[in-house]
Amino acid sequence: MFGYDWPRFHAAVNDLPAALLVATVLFDFAAAIWKRESLKWASVWTLWLGVVGGWVAVLAGEQAEDVIEHGDAIHRIMEVHEKWAIITMSVFTALLVWRLWRRFEERGVEAWLLKGISLFGLAMLVRVGMLGGQLVFDHAAGIPSATMQAEIKDRAAGHHHEPGEADEDHDHDHDHQEAPPDSGHVR
């Protein structure tokens, strides 16, 4: 699909809806605090786009699940990730439907109840992201076994920076670990 397979497409489309749904909650609270109509409508539009994009990400994830190589550990996490994603999107979809039905004119207790539900949805969204990160960073979900084996061999061979390379410039924010003196690692 557009030069992507399902796992890559899922990875490409899942961040923007999540960011939009976070923005929805922030705009909604900001509109309540500062009583600005423009912030209310920013919340409405980010909710719309976040819900539509979120369901695209869920559907792409469903397809990706069927094509990536995986064992039991990845499968268990994927099932939980999928469940939380569907619940999260259902919460935000219900918020959108309710707000549409009310023509975006919620007041008083109803408005604050909806804000509480959106915070609950936001907490679930964070959980979905944590599970997705666990799949990718802890279990290499979506990385073909042959690619992992080649990378393991490459990493085992090591990499040594020559003097003057970027690593020596200390322009990076990552920590540099000292290599054992007999490793031949150039510093």
Question: What are the extents of the domains in the chain?
Answer: 6-148
Rounded Cα distance between 11 and 13, Å, is 6
State both tokens at 71: 């064992």
What is the DSSP code (8-state) at residue 181?
G
Alpha helices in 68-141 (DSSP H): 72-101, 108-133, 139
- Sorting pLDDT into bands at 50, 70 and 90, what band is 170? low
Q: Domain 6-148: which topology?
A: Four Helix Bundle (Hemerythrin (Met), subunit A) (1.20.120)
Residue 184 has pLDDT above 60, yes or no: no
3-state helix, strand, coil in the chain (%, to 5): 75, 0, 25
User: For residue range 63-107, what is the model confidence (pLDDT) as tens digits?
Assistant: 999 999 999 999 999 999 999 999 999 999 999 999 999 887 888
Q: Give the 3-state secondary structure of residue 81.
A: helix
For residue 86 the two structure tokens come to 């569907």
pLDDT of residue 18: 98
